[in-house]
Amino acid sequence: MFFLKITDRYVLAELLKPFVAGVIAFMIVMVSNTLYIFMEQIVKSNVPVPIVLRMLLYSLPAIIVVTLPVAYMFATLLALGRLGRDSEITALRACGVSFGRIIAPVIVTSLLISGLGFWLQETVVPWANRQTVEILKDMMKREPIQALKAKTFLKFDDRYFYVDEIDRNINLLKRLYILDKSRTELPQVIAAQHATREQTRWVLRDGVLRKLEPSGWIDHEIRFKRMEIEMDLKPEMVFADTPDVRSLSSPEAAKLIKQKQEQGQDVRQDTMDYHTKFSLPLATFFTILLAAPIGIIFSKMGNYFGVALSIALVFIWYVTYSIFTGLGKAGTVDPVLAAWVQNIAFGSVGLLLLLQLSGVRWAQALLRPLRWLAWPVMALFRRLRRRPKPQV
């Protein structure tokens, strides 16, 4: 800390408490959501509690990466808002300290936190994801049905396997469909109301077997009360040999995506995951470009407004991130744009606000439409502040 000026240390000290509180608060929220999902696995799939706790532990690095930008933005809004509300920023400006110099430690710290997030995303998160996959494989070796997913197509050798519903309490498959191309003759389709697993065999009940012609029409069908199929369900049949991008470092992920492109495979989801490795850690820096000027501009609105504004911006960022992540993976939006859109939006508006506070006129002109959007909210809070307190 010897190389920091008194002003820098003062601003950073103001940031520390809300940042730590923000990290803890947002992690509790996200861990609670993850735990809720895992509790469903405990109840419906009879997954042992220790295994669920291990999976929860391995999910923490990815949760921390998402939490860091949100918590630091929250801390910046509260800290700079408090300094502005108590006229400490005005006093510093009167002493000749420029606005850029005041927020310099905030910006530099955001880059350091971005570096921490990138390190986690590049090393710890891939390792944790690989450990989670190993847990799932181990679960499947013990009880294969527990690893199956309903309403999902799976390929076992030359058989395509689809289950409409799974009762994991009694290991029962409901409405099972199999396209069997393992025979040299015509392919056959098997549909059964129920199926259970006995060692390496699958016992199907109350179903029908249809053999198809090359044209696709049904050649003949056979109804059955019970049928046995020899098929050993192994982990490698469900878990592809090709690693997931989230379980790789960025150079390894780039190499994998290039190989898939050369093979003509769809790489939209992989491309989205690859760019998220960079955009998510750097979100700390881009969100601060917006949070720093907004925290000062609205500092005079009071404590409640500062907290409400912090929560609103955090909510906007997280919702934007979640929506565009889904759109990017679905291919609705270009995956590169989807990975970076929230950073571009927050960074662009924040840069204009920084220029406005520095006295750049063209930035003030560009931001004029935003004033009309913010005016109703500001008017509402001013009115609430002027409301007389009830007499006791």
Cα distances from 46 to residues 49, 51, 148, 156, 195, in angstroms, run: 9, 11, 14, 25, 19
Cα distances from 119 to residues 27, 126, 132, in angstroms, run: 19, 11, 19
DSSP element (H, E) containing 331: none
Closest to 68 measured CA to CA, from 245, 325, 288, 248: 288
The CB density around residue 152, as the number of other CB atoms within 10 Å, is: 10
Query: Which string of b and e fits 277-286 if b means at least 16 CB within 10 Å?
Result: bbbbbbbbbb
| Residue partners of 156: CB distance under 8 A and separation at least 6 | 231, 233, 237
| Residue partners of 245: CB distance under 8 A and separation at least 6 | 253, 256, 257, 270, 273, 274
Q: How far apart are CA 56 and CA 35, in angstroms?
A: 7
pLDDT per residue, tens digit, the chain (392 aa), is 445 688 888 888 999 999 999 999 999 988 888 887 777 666 655 667 788 788 889 989 999 999 999 999 989 988 888 888 888 888 888 888 887 888 889 999 999 999 999 999 999 999 998 888 788 767 666 555 555 666 766 666 667 778 888 776 666 778 888 887 766 567 788 888 888 877 667 788 888 888 877 666 777 788 888 888 776 555 444 444 456 788 888 898 888 888 888 877 788 888 888 999 999 999 999 999 888 888 887 777 766 676 777 788 888 888 888 899 888 888 788 989 999 999 999 998 888 888 877 766 766 666 666 665 555 555 555 565 555 555 54
Q: Hey, which residues does 201 pair with through a beta bridge?
A: 198, 230
